[in-house]
Chain A
Amino acid sequence: RKEVEQDPGPFNVPEGATVAFNCTYSNSASQSFFWYRQDCRKEPKLLMSVYSSGNEDGRFTAQLNRASQYISLLIRDSKLSDSATYLCVVNNRVDSSYKLIFGSGTRLLVRP
């Protein structure tokens, strides 16, 4: 079983739609959680951190459910520029350092 699992998609939605992605993780001791965005043939970039209380950044809302070990990302009013792959990322402490575990990503296509 992968440590971080995501639906690969693609999610194909019209502009203005609301779309949600989920991600599950296997390590109950995971310390912190993130969504990264990766454009085609580019490097991953941090989109937002995910806090236990939930957090919102403009059209993006992230939620964490520790009991069920899943993370979600909601995108409202989708734009063409939101088309990308969204990576769910978990930070696990290992000895005195930290390691990010990346999901394989969910691809989003926003059509006109």
Chain B
Amino acid sequence: NAGVTQTPKFRVLKTGQSMTLLCAQDMNHEYMYWYRQDPGMGLRLIHYSVGEGTTAKGEVPDGYNVSRLKKQNFLLGLESAAPSQTSVYFCASSDRDRGGDTQYFGPGTRLTVL
């Protein structure tokens, strides 16, 4: 099993450009999450999904959109990138039957917005 994978691993954008980050998991998990990690801030939840076709806002959703068309995939979109969105983005998944307790993370995407 690959676990949780993320593409791309690195990306540099100019202000105003758009992009989509892809997260895929092969563990048949119901819950999926997108976080961003900034120095001194800890991981902050952007959006999450409790099942295929559902999404919900997390702590810092502004400037991002998500879609969960297939159970195994969770996409994070930036419509018009801003320098404040420079961060490391982590996707995670967890098992509904365990109350979402243990989250398995992907390797992260390092995004720089110039």
Count B interface residues, CB 8 Å. 24
Question: Is there contact, CB below 8 Å, between B105 and A45?
Answer: yes
Residue among B31, B33, B94, B103 with max Cβ neighbours from chain A (10 Å): B103
A residues sitting closer than 8 Å to B (CB atoms) are 2, 4, 8, 31-32, 34, 41-46, 49, 87, 91, 93, 96-100, 102-105
Instruction: Give the contacting residue for B107; candidates A2, A42, A100; CB below 8 A.
Output: A42
Question: Is there contact, CB below 8 Å, between A98 and B107?
Answer: no
Main secondary structure of the interface of A (DSSP, over half): strand
Question: Is there contact, CB below 8 Å, between A102 and B90?
Answer: no
Give Cα distance in the complex from A46 to B45, angstroms. Answer: 17
Sorted nearest first, the 8 A-B pairs with minimum C-beta distance are A98-B100, A104-B42, A43-B105, A102-B43, A102-B42, A97-B50, A46-B102, A98-B99
Question: Is there contact, CB below 8 Å, between A8 and B40?
Answer: yes
Give Cα distance in the complex from A27 to B31, angstroms. Answer: 22
Contacts of B42 in A (CB 8 A): 2, 4, 87, 102-105
Given the known inter-chain contacts A31-B99, A32-B99, A43-B90, please indicate yes or no for A99 contacting B48, CB distance below 8 A.
yes
Give Cα distance in the complex from A87 to B103, angstroms. Answer: 13
Is B56 close to A, CB under 8 A?
A: yes
Question: Is there contact, CB below 8 Å, between B41 and A91?
Answer: no
* Interface membership of chain B positions 26-61, coded 1 if the CB is closer than 8 angstroms to chain A and 0 otherwise: 000001010100001111110010100000101000
Give Cα distance in the complex from A100 to B100, angstroms. Answer: 8
Contacts of B103 in A (CB 8 A): 46, 100
Q: List 25 A-B contacts (CB under 8 A).
A: A2-B42, A4-B42, A8-B40, A41-B108, A42-B107, A42-B108, A43-B107, A43-B108, A44-B105, A46-B102, A49-B102, A87-B42, A87-B43, A91-B99, A91-B100, A97-B48, A98-B31, A98-B94, A99-B45, A99-B100, A100-B43, A100-B103, A102-B35, A104-B41, A104-B42
Question: Is there contact, CB below 8 Å, between B106 and A43?
Answer: yes
* Interface membership of chain B positions 52-95, coded 1 if the CB is closer than 8 angstroms to chain A and 0 otherwise: 00001010000000000000000000000000000000100010
Contacts of A99 in B (CB 8 A): 45, 48, 58, 100
